[in-house]
Structure 1
Amino acid sequence: MILKIPLPWLQLTYKKMRFFVALMGIGFAVMLMFLQLGLRDALFDSAVRLHRSLEADIILLSPLSTASIAMESFSQRHLYKALGYAGVESVSSVYVDFAVWKNLKARRARLIFVIGINPTDQVLNLPGVQQNINQIKREDVALFDQASRPEFGPIAQEFNQGETVIAEVRGHRLKIGGLFQLGTSFGTDGNLIMSDYTFLRVFNNRVDGLIDIGLIKLNPKANPNRVLNQLKRSLSDGVKVFSKQEYIEFEKNYWNTSTAIGFIFDLGAVVGFTVGTVIVYQILYADVSDHLSEYATLKAIGYTHNYLLKVVFQEALILASFGYIPGLAISLGLYSLVKSATLLPIAMNLSRAAFVLGLTTLMCVISGAIAMQKLRDADPVNSF
């Protein structure tokens, strides 16, 4: 039995160098889409890591707060009101703000994100927090995020070596009593956790009782939606009331719609899609033009126009399939490079891989549909 090699494959691989260049061009477009979408998702994931770590079912914010990097305070009495509702088990307060960090050894200043919590409450589900929570019960002691950018200095390394680490935050000297892990984002380069008491000592312009985030834990037997709706109706005058997922979406929406960052990454993905479409169209158009007389011959001996359309369409699918592979491989390498350079949580996942594969296929199908118009010139009468 003789193995039949399909015509579309033979057409594409007849000029091997052109086929190789086509695959690299498609791979570049695929890589561009992967990079832009990966950075966008890393932006969202890094922006809500703190939100996901909060040990709460319902979140209270000031109506003036727009994102974690632009918080406004509200009165703690709104939070205490929630204790009067059936199903509410406990409440906790969180303070957040930015401060100037100074590494006393390097004498280098940098903005750091500071989180103030009550150490007697279980507020944050982050590696290292509960293990070191007793440390911040002491005055002027803080926990340092070991996933902060290296510009803050080798704090984690010095601490792990048993050295006493002292830093200056907003002109106030603090001792690093332990390490935890949260990570950087597009809005923050490093993080500190301290007790609410120490927080108010460092930020002596802040008023006790004016908090930034209110956390509400519900009784396991409570109906979360019912309690949430009750609080939204009764507390709506002074605060915003969110479920935990709504709070996460609130933050994502800020980065996606209120800043240029989300738009830029989406635009980059569109540009990659457009570039790939143009590349595939040029390849298919050139291929059809080079073999126009052969197509006319096939028509002359009885092959239909629809058969020729199928050949071009199959060529588009072959380009999509084989061009996707180098794009995916290059993207994996770039993700690793970006992660090590920026500390952003960028990684490949199945849903993004499938989505970009779908975009690549659509890109090639659109190009094939446009290039098919050239087949009308394959007229046996004009060719012979």
Structure 2
Amino acid sequence: MVRIRMPLAWLQLRRERTRLLVGVSGITFAVVLIFMQMGFRSALFDSAVGMHSGLQGEIVLISPRSVALIAMEQFSERTLYQALGTEGVASVSPVYVESALWRNPETRVTRNIRVYGFNPNEHVFALPGVAEQRALLKEPDTVLFDRGSRSEYGPVPRLIERQGEVVTEVDERRVRVRGLVTLGVSFGSDGHLITSDQNFLRIFGKRRTKGLVDIGLIRLVPGTDTARVLADLRGRLPQNVRVLTKQEYKDFEVNYWNTSTPIGFTFTLGAIMGFVVGSIIVYQVLYTDVAEHLAEYATLKAIGYGDRYFLGVVFQSALILAALGFVPGLAIAWGLYELTRSATLLPLFMVVDRSLLVLGLTFAMCLLSGVIAVRKLRDADPADIF
């Protein structure tokens, strides 16, 4: 008959089932808190650059006064077309961005919505639904509605599927919604419209004669060295524009949300607090366990067991607690991700990299608590106890 030797650490933890349950629950709570804070932070950044990721071009021009997509400043369209004289540049496209008042087609209540305008004859957006419906945008006062917009804008996707188009108002101008695209909400905007440059200027008539654009998109000849063209453009174009790669433009947006708003800091602090709370809970469990068995540990110490053995026992307890707490924490966080994504339409997904990172933090949290708790055990002197 094979006899299985149970680890001393597990036997000690199992002996006080209530304490074990409290410890595992505390770690589970900490794991869920860390997952949610990291998930919200990631969703913030991913949603902030949803439009940026959909741009079909290697280089982007913006005004140096632009702060983020929610606070764009315009620059001269003439500057954008100057880039055509640079070797390696295949084409340029102006992109217009503005906020407008959208009127819910059912309730007639108005709500801010972000509008993007571009030349429908050019491939500017690689967003689902745009390429297939560019021809519709050539019709006057026609827009495409983001199916990922919040429900406060009205049941537009359902109405489109049922009747083919929706008639409403944008900045008090009558428009027809002829199709749907997929972009998704962000912390800066709850809904989006995409239309042609001409329709954009019809809606925002004050900008028609100014010749100003918000974003300049530059596409390069295939095989062109992007770094060389970038350097040429930065040397040739006037100082009223910033010349960025597409990735630099995305980093520019992420940096704004991460450093210039309290949101990024808040989510990071929340994850740190989860780590601290979990560490304290594990420490209390391990410290109490060591204190209650101090006499037994001292006896083992008297017959020759060294500090390394006791450290191993405490570390085993810490790792067992980490494993028992992480698994339900992962499952709960996964469910909360699904619930939050359905309620807010934010891109909140459980990814492997984040799961492994939280797993590592959980083990680190428990091992750190074990290191602190074992100090009492090292001070245990058999002569003092007996």
Offset of 1:317 from its aligned partner? 1.5
Q: What is residue 263 of structure 2 aligned with on the other side?
A: 261
Distance in 2 (alpha carbons) for counterparts of 1:223 and 1:310:
56
AA in 1 matched with 2:369: S
Question: Are the equivalent residues in 1 in contact too, given 2:105–2:166 (CA < 8 A)?
Answer: no
Output one character per residue of 1:191-222: Cα deviation in whole Å (capped at 9) or x when no partner. 00111111111111214420000000000021
Q: Aligned pair 1:287/2:298, yes or no?
A: no
Q: What is residue 112 of structure 1 aligned with on the other side?
A: 113
Distance in 1 (alpha carbons) for counterparts of 2:238 and 2:250:
19
Q: What is residue 67 of structure 2 aligned with on the other side?
A: 66
Distance in 1 (alpha carbons) for counterparts of 2:298 and 2:166:
80
In 2 relative to 1, CA 317–104 (structure 1 residues): closer, same or farther, beyond 3 Å?
A: closer
Q: What is residue 315 of structure 2 aligned with on the other side?
A: 313
Q: What is residue 42 of structure 1 aligned with on the other side?
A: 43
Offset of 1:182 from its aligned partner? 0.5
Q: What is residue 195 of structure 1 aligned with on the other side?
A: 196
Distance in 1 (alpha carbons) for counterparts of 2:311 and 2:129:
61
Q: Aligned pair 1:371/2:369, yes or no?
A: no
Q: Aligned pair 1:240/2:242, yes or no?
A: yes
Question: Are the equivalent residues in 1 in contact too, given 2:42–2:348 (CA < 8 A)?
Answer: yes
Distance in 2 (alpha carbons) for counterparts of 1:338 and 1:317:
30
> Alpha carbon RMSD of aligned pairs, Å?
1.1
Q: Aligned pair 1:52/2:50, yes or no?
A: no
Distance in 2 (alpha carbons) for counterparts of 1:224 and 1:92:
17
Q: Aligned pair 1:227/2:229, yes or no?
A: yes
In the TM superposition, structure 1's runs of 4+ consecutive aligned residues that sit over 3 Å from their partners are none
Could you tell me the percent identity over the aligned residues? 54
AA in 1 matched with 2:177: I
Question: Are the equivalent residues in 2 in contact too, given 1:36–1:266 (CA < 8 A)?
Answer: yes
Offset of 1:110 from its aligned partner? 0.5
Q: What is residue 279 of structure 2 aligned with on the other side?
A: 277
Unaligned runs of 5+ in 2: none
SS in structure 2 at match of 1:161: helix
Distance in 2 (alpha carbons) for counterparts of 1:11 and 1:164:
68
Question: Are the equivalent residues in 1 in contact too, given 2:149–2:190 (CA < 8 A)?
Answer: yes
Distance in 1 (alpha carbons) for counterparts of 2:34 and 2:187:
20
For these two proteins, the number of residue pairs brought into alignment is: 384
SS in structure 1 at match of 2:60: strand
Question: Are the equivalent residues in 1 in contact too, given 2:128–2:181 (CA < 8 A)?
Answer: yes
Distance in 2 (alpha carbons) for counterparts of 1:32 and 1:233:
48
Distance in 2 (alpha carbons) for counterparts of 1:254 and 1:350:
26
Q: What is residue 155 of structure 2 aligned with on the other side?
A: 154
Output one character per residue of 1:284-330: Cα deviation in whole Å (capped at 9) or x when no partner. 00000110111011111211122112211221121112211111111
Q: What is residue 182 of structure 1 aligned with on the other side?
A: 183
Distance in 2 (alpha carbons) for counterparts of 1:221 and 1:287:
65
SS in structure 2 at match of 1:95: strand
Q: What is residue 97 of structure 2 aligned with on the other side?
A: 96
Distance in 2 (alpha carbons) for counterparts of 1:331 and 1:92:
42
Q: Aligned pair 1:32/2:33, yes or no?
A: yes
Q: What is residue 144 of structure 1 aligned with on the other side?
A: 145
SS in structure 2 at match of 1:347: coil
Give the stretch that moved more between structures: 15-24 or 91-100: 15-24
Unaligned runs of 5+ in 1: none
Question: Are the equivalent residues in 1 in contact too, given 2:105–2:154 (CA < 8 A)?
Answer: no
Distance in 1 (alpha carbons) for counterparts of 2:309 and 2:165:
77
Residue number among 207, 213, 217 corresponding to 2:215 in the alignment: 213
Give the stretch that moved more between structures: 306-315 or 245-254: 306-315
Q: What is residue 298 of structure 2 aligned with on the other side?
A: 296
Distance in 2 (alpha carbons) for counterparts of 1:334 and 1:325:
14
Offset of 1:366 from its aligned partner? 1.1
Offset of 1:17 from its aligned partner? 2.0
Q: Aligned pair 1:20/2:27, yes or no?
A: no
Question: Are the equivalent residues in 2 in contact too, given 1:292–1:377 (CA < 8 A)?
Answer: no
Q: What is residue 9 of structure 1 aligned with on the other side?
A: 10
SS in structure 2 at match of 1:55: coil
Output one character per residue of 1:36-85: Cα deviation in whole Å (capped at 9) or x when no partner. 00000000000101000000100000011111111000001111111001
